[in-house]
Amino acid sequence: MSTKTLGGKTIEINEEGYMVVSDQWDKNVAKDLAAEEQIELTETHYAVLEFLRKKAMDGDSITIRSVGKSGIIDIKQFYKLFPGGPLKKASKIAGISKPSSCV
């Protein structure tokens, strides 16, 4: 494990760059994580991130399909918002662990 300064806080991250303690997440942390992925967050991004965080906190499985059925965006929009691995990138930016469906 290592630490990184994100959103003005020292955050513990794992070897893949995912936050270890999800409770440290806030919009400022998300903004810094997104900048590392060259993504500028919009309200739609934040709505997806909150959806993923809620699913993770409820212990539900997180999949691309579940995002597409969220009513927030469809799968095509998800790929546009988080290009090059949408579920991995969105999960990292949301401060949750990498979904088991991601390699």
Instruction: For residue range 19-45, list pLDDT tens digits in order.
Output: 999 999 999 999 999 999 999 999 999
- Is residue 80, in this structure, part of any structural domain at all? yes
- Is residue 23, in this structure, part of any structural domain at all? yes
- Annotated catalytic sites, by residue? 102
pLDDT at residue 103 in the model: 61
- Is residue 55, in this structure, part of any structural domain at all? yes
**pLDDT of residue 66 exceeding 90:** yes
- Is residue 98, in this structure, part of any structural domain at all? no
Which residues form the domain of 74? 2-93
Q: What is the C-alpha separation between 43 and 46, in angstroms, rounded? A: 5
Global pTM value: 0.93
- Is residue 57, in this structure, part of any structural domain at all? yes
**pLDDT of residue 64 exceeding 80:** yes
- Is residue 22, in this structure, part of any structural domain at all? yes
- Is residue 84, in this structure, part of any structural domain at all? yes
Confidence of residue 70 (pLDDT cuts 50, 70, 90): very high
Q: Cβ contacts of residue 63 below 8 Å, gap of 6+?
A: 87, 99, 101
- Is residue 101, in this structure, part of any structural domain at all? no
Number of domains making up the chain = 1
